[in-house]
Structure formats: structure tokens, C-alpha cells
Amino acid sequence: MEFRYLGNSGFKISEITFGNWLTHGSQVENDVATQCVRAALDAGISTFDTADVYANTAAETVLGEALKDERRQSLEIFTKVFGPTGPKGHNDVGLSRKHIMESINGSLTRLQTDYVDLYQAHRYDYETPLEETMQAFADIVRQGKALYIGVSEWTADQIRDGHALAKDLGFQLISNQPQYSMLWRVIEAEVIPTSEELGLSQIVWSPIAQGVLSGKYRPGKPAPEGSRATDSKGGARMIERWMSDEVLSGVQRLKPIAAEAGLTMAQLSIAWVLQNKNVASAIMGASRPEQIAGNVAAAGVKLDEAIMVKIDDVIGSLAERDPAQTKSPASREA
């Protein structure tokens, strides 16, 4: 495992982050989830990402239990706030001071820790003044409940505004957590240049495009039984945009490129996002512990320019690049 600095800070995280969205507390039994966390630790992963909204807080509980006997100083634990939790009442969502202050306390209890290394605004809240949100984050940092603050899926303008307020309040935003893969490049035009200017890194999710870039889905063929594309709990909805024959055919053309690089297609996909210098870490999930070791092998891989060009030639117009796709819901009901 290799490690990278997160933003303009002295804080290092593993190039591969273990994330438990769509799995722990919902799709995967708790004992298997714990086995996945153990496999991640054994593979050298020290960074773990979750959110209070995942499985309506259950994912945090599972992660906290799995990590409780580990040396806390050797881990980087991330969580997020925004989405509806608990009974989903009128104050159980968003980035109001009330929701943030109550949410951090709940997250710390479930994660069985006194602090999180990174606390992230899971989305941008159009209904709460940004000043209120950033003041709450500043207070959480001063209370020692979070060491660093980040955001997730914010636009370049939102990052710029948040960064300026954080600086005025005596702390800094050091990260953004966006979707990023060969097929989803909407952060390249605006978010990454702004982040580079202001000193933020990307911690990217879905580098394998929900499994599509692994090559296991074939054009004209039914999705493999038990795969995310067959998951009625949410996985199928997340993956449907890439299930066209056109996209799946393009992905199959990546196979000889992966073979040339000596990588599996999943490893190639993870290594590809890590070639971007503004990416500090790629988030990897797992529903089985044996999935971890193979994907972790993408850490430290250097792809030569010829390979990168071949990938671009294959993917071409199949990739979504519109910066307008980097956005948060327009309202809390969205």
C-alpha cells in the first residue's frame, strides 16, 4: 500500500480507501462485513469511509464494531452528514447547525471513537446558509470531534465559497468526495482545477463504475446472478445508466489494454483514477473479503502514457464529462 497527502495538509491516507456504502448493514451480513474490514486491514488499507445515511446509520455501527480493537492512531476514519437519518423528521436532514451537531455525536457513538479524522458534508444544502454550516464545522473541529473537514459532490463554485468561509473561520477544507471513473469524468473540467488551486484533494467513489468496468457485464447477455445490476435494494438503479450495449461493448474493448498492462480490468480502472495527481485515494467496496486483495494491487501502479491514450480512444464519447452533472439535490425532498 502507498499513501498520499490529503489536500494541502500533513495528513496521509492510503491510496485505497475501504468504503461500506450499499453493503454493510444492508446487503451484507454483519459477520461477512467484519471479514471484509479485516481483509482490508490485512491488505494494508488504513482509511475507512462511511456515512450516517448508509443503511440508516447501521453501516457506521458495523464499521465501529469491526475496528474497535484496532489502534486508533493507525486508522483514518471518515464519515459524512447530510442525508435523512433516524425517523427522517424535519430536522433529520441537511446541513443545519442542529443536524450537524446532533449527527456528529451519533456518528462518534456508533463508530466507537472520540473523533473522526475527516467529517464530510455529504451534499451541498441549498436551504441552509453556508455560513451556518461552516460555523458548525469550525466548532466541531475546535471541540476535537473531527480533525479535518471535507465535502462530497460539491461544484467548483460551492467548493470555492466553502473554502473562503472556512479560511475566515480558522480551518480549511481539504477534500472533496466525487464520483470519478473512466466513464464518469464530470469533475475534470472545473472541480479538479479549482481543487488544485485551493489545496483540496479528491477521494473518489465508484472508480469501477459500480462494477461495470470490471467487464463482468456483457452486451446482449443477462447480468450475472447476485451482481449489483440484479440488486433490487438500490444497486440496480445506480448501475442502469451504464447497462446499454454501446457502453458494455466499449468496456469489453478495454480487456486487451488491461492485459497489456498486466492488470485485471478492475485493477486497471482503479489505477486509472489514481493517475490523476489530484486524486488522493480511490474508494473500494466489497461484499466478499476475497475481492479486496485483487483490487488493492492497483495501488502504486504507474500507467504509461500509451496505455492512457488507448483507454481514452476506447472510451471516447461513452464518458460523461458535463460539469453540470456535479450537483446536489435542489431541495431536501429531491
CA distance 150 to 76: 14
Amino acid at 223: A
Amino acid at 106: G
Q: For residue 20, how many other CB atoms are within 10 A of its CB?
A: 28
Q: What is the DSSP letter of 206?
A: -
Q: What angle do CA 311, 286, 152 make, to 5 degrees?
A: 70
Closest CA to 242 of 276, 268, 269, 219: 219
**Within the chain, what is the greatest distance between any pair of CA atoms?**
55
Closest CA to 202 of 161, 263, 150: 150
Which secondary structure element, helix H or strand E, spans residue 203, and what is its range?
strand 201-204
Closest CA to 292 of 18, 1, 32: 18
CA distance 217 to 225: 11
CA distance 89 to 97: 15
148 as an active site residue: the answer is no
* Contact call for residues 154 and 124 (beta carbons, < 8 A): yes
Instruction: Name the active-site residue from 54, 119, 148, 217.
Output: 54
148 forms beta bridges with 118
249 forms beta bridges with none
Q: What is the DSSP letter of 286?
A: -
Closest CA to 151 of 56, 81, 61: 81
Of all residues in the chain, what percent are helix, strand and coil, respectively (each to 5)? 45, 15, 40
Catalytic residues: 54
